[in-house]
Structure 1
Amino acid sequence: MPAGVQGALVTPVSGTLMATWMPQSGQSRVPQGRVLLSWTPAGAERMDVTAHLGLAGAQVLLAVWPGLRGDWSGVVRPTVAEVTKLHTALRLATVVLDRPAD
């Protein structure tokens, strides 16, 4: 990760996942429905990767992948994609359930 960032903020856009750097000096909370990926070196060619999910009332630890080696996007991407889809579906269900019945 570059200096001055706390991780990559992952956002679903038109069926794909887009990532942007989240600066350390900016907002400290992960926006609702988004995932913040951060990583730190964990030895020879290994990374410890952490994911936090932004919810309406809190930011929660979503996953930790210790000691990943090489291109770890294939390990992390399925979890991030499924969680963002699930969050979208739950938000839609909440909107529908909050509507008055006809």
Structure 2
Amino acid sequence: MDYRQERYKSTFENEGGKEIWDFLNQPENVIRMETATFLSRPAIEPLSPLLLQRYGEGVRKDRIKQMMGHMVRQIMEHNGYVLQQGNVKISSADNIFARASRYARNNEVA
């Protein structure tokens, strides 16, 4: 699966987007996103410490976080999920994301 860059083309090309895309698509990270979704949490929430560990403080840039959210949506949709709610608050103070999107299995959406 290739990332559809759309409005994040410049960020993708200049901020290590290919490496981030590959990281997010690693099977263990997809499982983490699916587990968070099963627990009714934003998919990207559990990846924060791993992203910081791997890429450093640069991933805190708003445009990079927005691009990662855009990437996660494509990954989740590819795996049979649909957007359930955007702008879900993440209460953990040490998470790089303050808000993110929550997904549901396509057949679970009411």
TM over 0.5: no
Give the TM-score normalised by the residue count of structure 1.
0.29
Higher helix share: 2
Question: What TM-score comes out, normalization by structure 2 length?
Answer: 0.27
Q: Per chain length, whose mean CA-contact separation is higher, i.e. which structure has more relative contact order (CA < 8 Å, sep 6+)?
A: 2
Larger radius of gyration, structure 1 or 2?
Answer: 1
